Structure 1
Amino acid sequence: MRVTVPTEELRSRLAGAVEVAIWDLASPAPWPAIDIVVPPYMGSVSLLGALAGVDVRLVQSQSIGYDGVLERLPPGVAFANGASVHEGPAAEIGMALLLAAQRDLPRFVRQQDAEIWRGGFTRGLFGLRVVILGAGGLGGAMFDRLLPFGARPVRVARSRRVDERGAVAALSELPGLLSTAEAVVICLPLDDATRGLVDAGFLAAMPDGAILVNIGRGAIVDTDALVAELVAGRLRAALDVTDAEPLPARHPLWSAPGILISPHVGGQVTTMPDAVEALVRRQIAALAAGADPVNLIR
């Protein structure tokens, strides 16, 4: 079995299990037929054009998101996302952003720089009513991490159902849920249905002082509408993803009041290579056994 990976680290981890080569998709393919191609992490979807003319059984992404991928992927090539790799770390950054905003940590950091000792009551998470947009792996991971803090999370998906974590509300119930939500956490992928979902009307339905946390994709939020709410001082935000990325210099989000921004680092933890290796090995075993790969998007 032949596998290509974008880094020497991943090549050395898989060496011996399969025939493996380094390919960053910016140079010619090492073989005319490849069983699994692992593209560069956070690489441009335009790199997928390099697959044209190559006999590829599976493209295994290192990311959960797949916006723009299917339009660039050659016909007939199977694609799997990186589910199982990032859900825990991305939920961690979601919790970190929410906790930091609720406990006013950015103010304390600025005070430390100025050698100012000034306390005050902050909001916390106990009893916090949280609407989680998304009931997949990331939404579930966020739900699990909120519970020990005494928060009151509810997940929202396209349809109402009950799963191993309990009830999931339907998207049609969202207006009623937003009216009492003290926090909304976006854990959705970007597609035609979710692009611009969090628009001016959505934000207007959130109560004064509520916070929007985005660990999904930046374009799910209407950025101009969010900036307007932040400038008005009505809502707060904590974002690991923005529209656009990187966020340009002098963009109004940088200086908007009540916002905390991290530069799309939710999945960037030092244990990520371990998780990627485990997923690729699982896919190798599936193909070798003639079974379907996991996480198939197409």
Structure 2
Amino acid sequence: MQVTVPERFAHLVEHFPKLPILVQPSGRPWDDRMAKTTFFVPDYMSGRAGVANLAKMPALEVVQILSAGVDNVRDAIPNGVTLCNAKGVHDAATAEMAVTLTLASLRGLGRFRDLQREARWDNQSFSSLADRNVLVIGYGSIGAAIEQRLNGFEAQITRVARVGRVTPVVYGFDELDELIPKADIIILIVPLTQQTKGMVNEHFLERMHDGALLVNVARGAVVDTQALIRTLATGRIAAALDVTDPEPLPSTSPLWQMENCLITPHVGGDTDAFHRRAEQLLTRNIDRYTKGLPLLNVINGEY
């Protein structure tokens, strides 16, 4: 039994003094000692590169990733190896980012930052979040955390998930055509699957009413980038994106220069809150692994 963890979680050694724990230095994708790994934790945001050497770990039993989404690693997991995600770890940070992007876009903070650089005092009126209809597409744990934070802003929340349910009221994807035109703000927080890839296409964007805001804290490929560029170019809607397709976003992308598009470089989940919660999850799951107990957040299927 050997657990391999990223350097940022080196202090886990203190939690398990009798357990063989190998600390993988940052920037070093492979160390021959990793071949004995049975429980592997790729570094956060390492993507495909983080799981590129799994075939060199013949004794591997568990891969514990530090993101909620598994779309970029799922097919790299060898047969017979258990994949666990970090469901719950990113709820607070990602929900904060969703609300931050929403408020920054509605209240024109980007514009005021530009005016500050010019030392210009220019009063302007922008939209409020209060009384707005917010459509949260992807009502899982992060979607619920977004709703919890939005409740204090006196906004009306409509929940959407892959399959509708009654308590609380959650609409299904099949009802989106009717819901989109009623939404002032649409927040995307769905996992990237075959069903959600390109979900926000030309038709979806056309259904959004003039002046609506699209916020993406899910995955970039949930949105058809070219369709979004064409729609934003009309000035009809606005967008706030923490994720793009591709990533990094090329410097030649028109999105960078659009005043009605706010971009952050996929930083929604990476805060000190994430680090604390990730350490708690790793501690619990490593402890369960060493005791032969069922693991938390085991992935079956696409997500």
Structure 2 length-normalised TM: 0.93
Relative to structure 1, the CA distance from residue 31 to residue 101 in structure 2 (aligned partners, 3 Å threshold; closer, same or farther) is closer
Structure 1 residue 11 corresponds to structure 2 residue 32? no
Equivalents in 2 of 1:251, 1:32: separation in Å?
Answer: 41
Q: Does the Cα contact within 8 Å between 1:49 and 1:73 map onto a contact in 2? A: no
Q: Percent identity?
A: 37
Give the Å deviation of 1:29.
4.5
Structure 1 length-normalised TM: 0.94
C-alpha distance after superposition, 1:211-265 (max 9, x if no partner): 0000000000001111111110111000000011111112111112311001100
Please provide the CA RMSD for this pair.
1.6
Relative to structure 1, the CA distance from residue 14 to residue 161 in structure 2 (aligned partners, 3 Å threshold; closer, same or farther) is farther
Residues 285-296 of structure 1 aligned to structure 2 (within 5 Å)? 285-296=287-298
Give the Å deviation of 1:280.
0.7
Equivalents in 2 of 1:175, 1:240: separation in Å?
Answer: 24
Determine the structure 1 residue equivalent to 2:53: 50
Give the Å deviation of 1:101.
0.6
Q: Does the Cα contact within 8 Å between 1:14 and 1:277 map onto a contact in 2? A: no
Q: Does the Cα contact within 8 Å between 1:131 and 1:183 map onto a contact in 2? A: yes
Structure 1 residue 117 corresponds to structure 2 residue 116? no
Residues 123-142 of structure 1 aligned to structure 2 (within 5 Å)? 123-142=127-146
Q: Write out the 4+ residue segments of structure 1 that deviate beyond 4 Å after TM superposition.
A: none
Equivalents in 2 of 1:153, 1:171: separation in Å?
Answer: 16
Letter in 1 for 2:21: V
Match of 2:272, SS state, is coil
Equivalents in 2 of 1:31, 1:141: separation in Å?
Answer: 37
Runs of 5+ in structure 2 lacking a partner? Answer: none
Q: Does the Cα contact within 8 Å between 2:214 and 2:238 map onto a contact in 1? A: yes
More strand, by proportion: 1
Match of 2:169, SS state, is strand
Match of 1:126, SS state, is coil
Match of 1:271, SS state, is helix
Give the Å deviation of 1:277.
1.1
Equivalents in 2 of 1:290, 1:87: separation in Å?
Answer: 28
Match of 2:125, SS state, is coil
Determine the structure 2 residue equivalent to 1:99: 103
Equivalents in 2 of 1:220, 1:53: separation in Å?
Answer: 33
Letter in 1 for 2:10: R
Equivalents in 1 of 2:38, 2:274: separation in Å?
Answer: 22
Give the Å deviation of 1:160.
1.4
